[in-house]
Amino acid sequence: MDLNGAKILVTGGSLGIGKATAKVLVDSGASVAITGRDTARLEKAAKETGSFPITADVAKPDNVDRTYERFLAEFDGLDCLINNAGIGIFKTIDDTTYSDFEDVFTVNVYGAALMATRAAAIFKKQNRGNIVNIGSTAAEKGFERGTIYAASKFALRGMTQCWQAELRRHNVRVFLIDPSEVATAFANPDRTEQKAAANKLTSFEIAHAIKSVLEMDDRGMIPELAVWATNPW
């Protein structure tokens, strides 16, 4: 895929991996829109990355519809969807509630699926396209207090494999990027960015991985890619 001139939609682009990805892709010549729920934070990120802001919540179907309306009106086409929006709740199993599952799955699973549903329809019609799902190494192995979050990422991994099977014949590539622990604002109630230690992953390592898989010639694809810190100890 040639990123120069590509039209790319990134969910959860106000902070962290989404914001870094928007910056890297814009610097590569792509036209990028980012979504987020906080308008002020989103517009700040858009100015810093050179992207187009769309205030929206992927967990709300009407917001998903509005996102595509705004994006297509601005860019007149779509080449790539990056499903990055995600939240996490980390509790022991005996403290876990139904609403905890509902909150996380609505964003991490249902939101990603709603966004992909619209993208897939566009891509099948034009017989080309790309979907990047931002998973987690938690989709490969569960961990203590990870019941809800890991389950949502296992679900996303399963959906990715289904979409790969369905969409390959339409020349649509579906990638799963699995970051290990990354210093972002993720899970911080006040949404402040964490500062990474020198030996830990930052959002830009993940953005680099996304850029790399997309830049492969369209005849090939990398179904799943995990990104780990070389020596986090």
Instruction: Please write the tens of the pLDDT for every residue from 29-49.
Output: 999 999 999 999 999 999 999
pLDDT tens string 99-153: 999 999 999 999 999 999 999 999 999 999 999 999 999 999 999 999 999 999 9
Nearest Cα neighbor of 82 from 140, 185, 1 is 1
Least confident segment among 69-73, 87-91, 183-187, 221-225: 183-187
Buried b (16+ CB within 10 A) or exposed e, 25-46: bbebebbbbbbbbeeebbebbb
Catalytic positions, written as ranges: 149
**Which amino acid, 33?**
A
**185 falls within a domain:** yes
pTM of the entire predicted model: 0.95
Q: Would residue 232 count as lying in a domain?
A: no
pLDDT tens figures, 176-224: 999 999 986 555 555 465 677 889 999 999 999 999 999 999 999 999 9
CATH, residue 149: 3.40.50.720
Average pLDDT over residues 9-36: 98
In-domain check, residue 81: yes
> How many domains, the chain?
1
Domain span holding position 123: 7-227
